[in-house]
């Protein structure tokens, strides 16, 4: 996994942890879409880009990725190992 990740023309990066988790430490370039409200907010995600999904351990991002595929998103990637395996820099909103 790269040390820094940026949203770009080909991909959109989302973190499905809860707000308080995201605010403690997040990867620059990721946008917070908490899984607890995901069914109400996922429609904002672009269907014409790859969606890269992360969470703390990979369980919630796997659920979010499966949900997106059920909704017709064709190019969705779950980051295995998630934040627990992330060795790069993180930002904090606190």
Residues 54 and 62: their CA atoms lie apart, in Å, by 8
9 is annotated as an active-site residue: no
Of the candidates 5, 27, 55, 79, the residue annotated as catalytic is 55
Residues 54 and 27: beta-carbon distance below 8 Å: yes
The residue length of the chain stands at 94
Q: Show the DSSP H helices in 14-74 as ranges.
A: 19-24, 38-41, 59-70
Which residues are part of the catalytic machinery?
Answer: 55
């Amino acid at each position: 996994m790269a040390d820094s990740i940026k949203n770009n023309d080909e991909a959109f990066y989302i973190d499905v942890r809860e707000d308080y988790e995201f605010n403690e430490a997040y990867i620059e370039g990721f946008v917070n879409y908490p899984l607890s409200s995901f069914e109400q907010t996922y429609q904002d995600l672009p269907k014409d880009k790859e969606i890269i999904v992360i969470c703390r351990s990979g369980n919630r991002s796997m659920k979010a990725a499966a949900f997106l595929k059920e909704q017709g998103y064709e190019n969705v990637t779950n980051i295995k190992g998630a934040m627990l395996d992330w060795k790069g820099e993180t930002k904090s909103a606190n």
